[in-house]
């Protein structure tokens, strides 16, 4: 577990990279995203620039949790590559919670395949393998990609469920459960700080980091999601420890599923841009760039 003291020591060093740092937050208008944004503004030094993108009007959680995030990442990558230092892309979802997926039905269109649990599994595994493919590309060598599970965070999510009318008793029951679980939850401020730490710590360096995995002469880079130290793509638990269910991911790597997922993503985006999609909510992503 990454000690909170290390988090508090690391994130203030953001200001050492000079003024005018840039942060892009997708869905950062509440919860963990908003807390991370506040931490960024607090520690980014003089004249930081923050861009908040409202959630797109797409109706499937599968699209919001995965397709929209990857598309926004694709659109931002040309700018991130131009940063004079290391850039970071984070997706806060379910890193380390991988489970089997339907390789022959990635969009979960076949009868009986779609469900909340399965769309979550597809979003998680697809994010892992897409980030690995992005990090392995030479032109992205100075961009790190992090997929993190935030743990349970007290974010008042019940208020955003829109449970009214006959659903009001359910809303109040969930509020009671939420209240009872708060002592076990990660405080929202700490969650935001830990998320920012994942974007700036040399533990999780881009693939083009210093030589043997050490950065700043002190911190050794951890193993990436593929097991290679400093590979540029990372799966993290809420506390900063490396995660990833390799019994699920390794067979997918070996049979070329990563390439299949990438090709499917581009085809699905074309479909969405030409009329598919609706509305949804949940989760968030962020990208940041700073001078080294």
How confident is the model at residue 109, as a pLDDT? 82
- Show the CA angle centred on residue 205, arms to residues 203 and 209, nearest 5°: 125
Residue 140 or residue 111, greater confidence: 140
189 within 8 A of 206, measured Cβ to Cβ: no
Rounded to 10°, the helix 116-136/68-81 angle is 20
Domain 4-151+189-289 matching CATH 3.30.420: the answer reads: no
Beta bridge partners of 233: 145
Q: Could you tell me where the DSSP H helices lie in the chain? A: 4-10, 31-43, 61-62, 68-81, 116-136, 168-181, 188-200, 246-254, 257-273
pLDDT in tens, 120-173: 999 999 999 999 999 999 999 999 999 999 998 877 655 555 555 545 666 667
Among the listed residues 51, 52, 7, 21, the one whose alpha carbon sits nearest the alpha carbon of residue 196:
7
- Show the CA angle centred on residue 121, arms to residues 7 and 24, nearest 5°: 45
Please, what sign has the CA dihedral across residues 284, 285, 291, 292?
Answer: positive
What is the pTM assigned to this prediction?
A: 0.75
pLDDT in tens, 57-82: 343 688 789 988 999 999 999 999 99
pLDDT in tens, 181-234: 677 788 889 999 999 999 999 999 999 874 444 445 577 889 999 999 999 999
62 within 8 A of 107, measured Cβ to Cβ: yes
Residue 270 or residue 136, greater confidence: 136
């Amino acid at each position: 577990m990454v000690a909170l003291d290390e988090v508090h020591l690391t994130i203030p060093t953001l200001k050492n990279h000079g003024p005018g740092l840039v942060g892009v937050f997708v869905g950062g208008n509440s919860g963990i995203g908003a807390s991370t944004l506040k931490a960024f503004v607090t520690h980014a030094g003089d004249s930081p620039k923050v861009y908040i993108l409202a959630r797109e009007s797409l109706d499937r959680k599968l699209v919001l949790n995965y397709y929209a995030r990857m598309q926004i990442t694709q659109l931002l990558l040309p700018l991130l590559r131009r940063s004079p230092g290391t850039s970071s892309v984070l997706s806060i979802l379910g890193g380390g919670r991988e489970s089997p997926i339907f390789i022959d039905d990635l969009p979960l269109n076949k009868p009986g395949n779609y469900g909340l649990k399965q769309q979550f599994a597809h979003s998680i595994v697809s994010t892992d393998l897409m980030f690995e493919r992005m990090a392995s590309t030479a032109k992205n060598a100075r961009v790190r990609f992090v997929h993190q599970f935030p743990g349970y965070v007290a974010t008042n999510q019940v208020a955003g469920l829109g449970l009214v009318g006959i659903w009001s008793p359910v809303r109040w029951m969930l509020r009671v459960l939420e209240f009872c679980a708060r002592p076990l939850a990660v405080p929202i401020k700490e969650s935001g700080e830990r998320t920012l730490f994942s974007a700036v710590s040399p533990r999780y360096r881009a693939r083009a980091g210093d030589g043997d995995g050490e950065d700043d002469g002190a911190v050794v880079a951890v193993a990436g999601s593929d097991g290679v130290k400093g590979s540029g793509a990372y799966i993290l638990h809420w506390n900063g420890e490396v995660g990833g269910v390799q019994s699920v991911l390794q067979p997918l790597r070996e049979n070329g599923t990563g390439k299949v997922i990438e090709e499917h993503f581009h085809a699905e985006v074309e479909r969405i841009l030409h009329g598919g999609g609706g509305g949804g909510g949940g989760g968030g992503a962020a990208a940041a760039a700073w001078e080294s």
